[in-house]
């Protein structure tokens, strides 16, 4: 199963609400709390420590940089306030028994976070999400899109909620290699958080409208669909065996449906009260990294839970 030993948290200081929010109720605070909860759980299940690094990237335009360079005291104040804000977060994590550090870098958040994740050996990046839907605010922004599309390690987009530990986790699979990896992450997270793990597969019939112009008989189309359902049941049974071998505290819950994957999976997250959805960034579009493809875009707009993604390796 997957390990979480070196976690990176992207902290958004650009709006100023980090310092203004006394109760810590900002998207970035929620991401920090989730990282601390994950590190605490990982430490309890392992003999080795889990480190958390809080990182803020200050993207200053050229005019601002020029003004600050002309007033070195002001530049020091901008950086020192940002560093102090993150240092307090690291100290809070340390008080909770988590090994933590923090840093502030100048540059584009998307570039800084992607580069840092790759160069510093991080195995997970967490960021916060603004708004009620994951396409509101940060996820719609270029930083999140860049992370989901280009980050070489898993990305967890945290949606503010009443709990920092997911109780119900759903893995959406198309049985591809990246989804096989996702299922391992699902098993690990379910074990760490003592959560109920669900897995779902949707057999899509989206090609049916195009087949009406062909000479393929309706019976043949139906047979192909039934074959796909049978094949999916066999593969889901194999996942159930893996979950049983992992000795989860709660049995794996399996879902098999047909329809439009984006609609079905989004509905399942609501009906089942899912806290965290795991999905690959291919997102049924067939193009690695195209998280903003039409199907994925539509689905993300409907999501109300947190999202954990893994990008397939470039070919």
DSSP string for residues in 218-245? HHHHHHHHHHHHHHHHHHHHHHHHHHHH
CB count within 10 Å of CB 222 equals: 11
Structural domains of the chain, ranges and CATH numbers in brackets:
6-158 (3.40.50.620), 168-310 (3.40.50.620)
Q: pLDDT at position 27, please?
A: 84
* Percentage of residues in the chain having pLDDT higher than 90: 48
What pLDDT, in 10s, does the model give residues 216-273? Answer: 666 777 788 788 899 999 999 999 999 999 999 999 999 999 988 888 999 999 999 9
Q: Give residue 139's pLDDT.
A: 43
Cα(142)–Cα(150) distance, rounded to whole angstroms?
12
What is the DSSP secondary structure assignment for residue 253, as one 8-state letter? E
Q: Which residues contact 269 (CB under 8 A, 6 or more apart)?
A: 170, 277, 303, 304, 305
Between these two residues, 303 and 309, which has the higher pLDDT value?
Answer: 309
How far is the CA of 258 from the CAs of 18, 19, 33, 228, in angstroms? 43, 47, 37, 10
Rounded to an integer, what distance in angstroms lies between the CA atom of residue 96 and that of residue 26?
20
The residue written with tokens 């997957």 in the block is 2
pTM of the model: 0.86
Tokens 């090609």 appear where?
207
Q: What is the pLDDT of residues 64-74, one digit of tens each?
A: 666 666 655 55
pLDDT score at 130? 64
Q: Which residue has the higher pLDDT, 35 or 28?
A: 35
Q: Quick: pLDDT tens for 270-301.
A: 999 999 999 886 443 444 444 444 444 556 66
* CA-based nearest residue to 129, from 140, 116, 117: 140
Most confident of 98-102, 145-149, 203-207: 98-102
C-alpha separations of 247 from 147, 241, 286 in Å: 33, 10, 33
């Amino acid at each position: 199963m997957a390990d979480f030993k070196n976690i990176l948290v992207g902290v958004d200081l650009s709006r100023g609400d980090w310092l203004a929010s006394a109760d810590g109720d900002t998207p970035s605070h929620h991401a920090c709390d989730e990282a601390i909860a994950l590190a605490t759980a990982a430490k309890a299940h392992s003999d080795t420590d889990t480190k958390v690094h809080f990182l803020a990237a200050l993207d200053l335009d050229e005019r601002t940089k020029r003004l600050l360079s002309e007033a070195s005291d002001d530049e020091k104040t901008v950086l020192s306030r940002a560093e102090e804000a993150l240092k307090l977060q690291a100290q809070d994590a340390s008080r909770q028994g988590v090994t933590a550090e923090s840093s502030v870098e100048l540059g584009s958040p998307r570039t800084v976070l992607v580069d840092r994740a790759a160069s510093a050996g991080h195995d997970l990046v967490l960021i916060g999400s603004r708004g009620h839907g994951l396409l509101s605010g940060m996820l719609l922004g270029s930083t999140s899109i860049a992370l989901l599309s280009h980050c070489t390690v898993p990305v967890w987009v945290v949606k503010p909620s009443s709990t920092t530990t997911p109780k119900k986790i759903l893995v959406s699979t198309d049985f591809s290699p990246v989804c096989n990896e996702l299922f391992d992450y699902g098993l690990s997270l379910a074990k760490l958080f003592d959560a109920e793990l669900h897995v779902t597969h949707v057999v899509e019939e989206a090609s049916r409208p195009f087949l009406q112009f062909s000479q393929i008989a309706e019976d043949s189309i139906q047979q192909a669909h039934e074959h796909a359902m049978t094949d999916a049941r066999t593969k889901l049974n194999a996942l159930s065996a893996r979950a049983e071998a992992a000795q989860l505290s709660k049995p794996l819950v399996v879902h098999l449906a047909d329809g439009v994957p984006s609609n079905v999976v989004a509905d399942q997250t609501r009906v089942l009260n899912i806290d965290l959805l795991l999905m690959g960034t291919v997102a049924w579009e067939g193009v690695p990294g195209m998280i903003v493809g039409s199907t994925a875009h539509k689905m993300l707009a409907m999501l109300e839970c947190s999202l954990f993604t893994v990008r397939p390796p470039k070919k």
